[in-house]
Amino acid sequence: MENLEKNSVLVVDDELLNLKMLRSILHEDYTVYTAKDGPTGIEMAVSNNPDLILLDILMPDMDGYEVLARLKSNSNTRRIPVIFITGLDSKAEEEKGLSLEAADYIGKPFSPGIVNLRVRNQIQIINQIRTIEKLSYLDQLTQIPNRRSFDQQILSEWGRAIRDQIPLSLLMIDVDKFKIYNDTYGHLQGDIVLRTVAGTILQTLQRAGDFTARYGGEEFCVLLPGADVVGAMKVADQIREAVQSLNIPCENGVYSSVTISVGVHSLVPKVTNTIPDLIAKADQALYTAKESGRNCVRRYLA
């Protein structure tokens, strides 16, 4: 279990002694993978998706420069930073490596202190970038994915649904009379409601592939890959019932409650369909739910 929490490093070098030395230096702090040649290193980079690659320049058959070029040309590996490990002491060689987007150099013979520092610096940069990226896809109030994250997720699921010809369902959810709730209990209490509804939606979803996000304001959305309209309606009503049953604490021991309206649209997309059309039809179904008295689920009907 401990290894799963570590950052990972792939070392590619044709010298067994170098592989053993670098593994010995790094294994306490990182999960270390090793490869004895360039082609194997590329395969392991794709299959293991390491956080960092240490790559020897001088190797038979495929040198480090070619390996780096191939890594950068592959969408699955192009973002993995690469540190060259080399005994070459040439400004021209260093310039060539940097022009191919190598992140750094480690010289031979190895100094354990230098290896650890250069690896640690790159890992810190990677982790900081990931933290920033994660925050940019997270709604800060509710701590669930935001609209930007939803836009990316629906694009991915749409492509998969077209490719595999499987249904894709979308729920659009709106907290009923939220403005009145805010006016009655205050905006801080309104924030509590939004966080509580978001958490309730998450807890109600059962499948690993199901996805929810805050769409904006008091509106949420749920993507259900592989779910037809019957399954989507069932999930929508489970969410509605779960929210309706909430007792949300307010000040002075008072409890409040809210309800939601849900619009559902499901289809097996074809190339002639579009994502905006899916969203618009789920929105239209949501409007119908609100016009029907709220606290209900409605599907899109052409």
Same domain, 87 and 228: no
- Say if residue 151 is in the same domain as residue 289: yes
The reported pLDDT for the residue numbered 2 is 42
Task: Tell me the chain's radius of gyration from C-alpha atoms.
Answer: 26
Number of separate domains in the chain = 2
Check which CATH number belongs to the domain holding 256 and give it.
3.30.70.270
Residues 221 and 285 in one domain: yes
Of 131, 162, 186, which closes a domain?
131
User: Quick one: 167 and 292 in the same domain?
Assistant: yes
Contacts of 73 (CB under 8 A, 6+ apart): none
Q: Give the domain extent around 78.
A: 3-131
Question: Which of the listed residues 131, 162, 189 is the one where a domain comes to its end?
Answer: 131
Is residue 141, in this structure, part of any structural domain at all?
no
C-alpha 61 chain-centroid distance: 37
Any idea which residue has 């998706």 for tokens? 49
Q: What is the pTM of this model?
A: 0.70
Q: Examine residue 109 and say whether the peptide bond preceding it is cis (omega within 30 degrees of 0).
A: yes
pLDDT of residue 141: 96
Query: Are residues 124 and 173 both part of a single domain?
Result: no
- Among residues 76, 97, 77, 75, the alpha carbon closest in space to that of 86 is found at 97
Q: Which amino acid would we find at residue 163?
A: R
Which residues does the annotation mark as catalytic? 218
Nearest to 82 by CA among 111, 116, 45, 112: 45
- 217 and 155 within one domain: yes
User: pLDDT 10s per residue in the chain (302 long)?
Assistant: 344 579 999 999 999 999 999 999 999 999 999 999 999 999 999 999 999 999 999 998 899 999 999 999 999 999 999 999 887 776 777 777 777 788 898 988 899 999 999 999 999 999 999 888 888 999 999 999 999 999 999 999 999 999 999 999 999 999 999 999 999 999 999 999 999 999 999 999 989 999 999 999 999 999 999 999 999 999 999 999 999 999 999 987 899 999 999 999 999 999 899 999 999 999 999 999 999 999 999 999 97
Residues 206 and 65 in one domain: no
**Residue 54 falls inside a structural domain:** yes
Instruction: Say if residue 110 is in the same domain as residue 194.
Output: no
214 and 275, same structural domain?
yes
Q: Are residues 116 and 179 in the same domain?
A: no
Same domain? For 155 and 123 the reply is no
Q: Please state, as a whole number, how many other Cβ atoms lie within 10 Å of the Cβ of residue 140.
A: 8
* Residue 4: per-residue pLDDT: 56
**CB 220 within 8 Å of CB 212:** yes
Token readout for 243 is 């929210």
- Both tokens assigned to 217: 């304001």
From 77, 106, 131, give the residue that closes a domain. Answer: 131
- Say yes or no: 118 and 152 in one domain: no
Alpha helix stretches (DSSP H) within the chain: 16-26, 38-48, 64-73, 91-99, 112-136, 147-164, 178-185, 187-204, 229-244, 275-291
Phi, psi of 40 (to 5 degrees): -65, -40
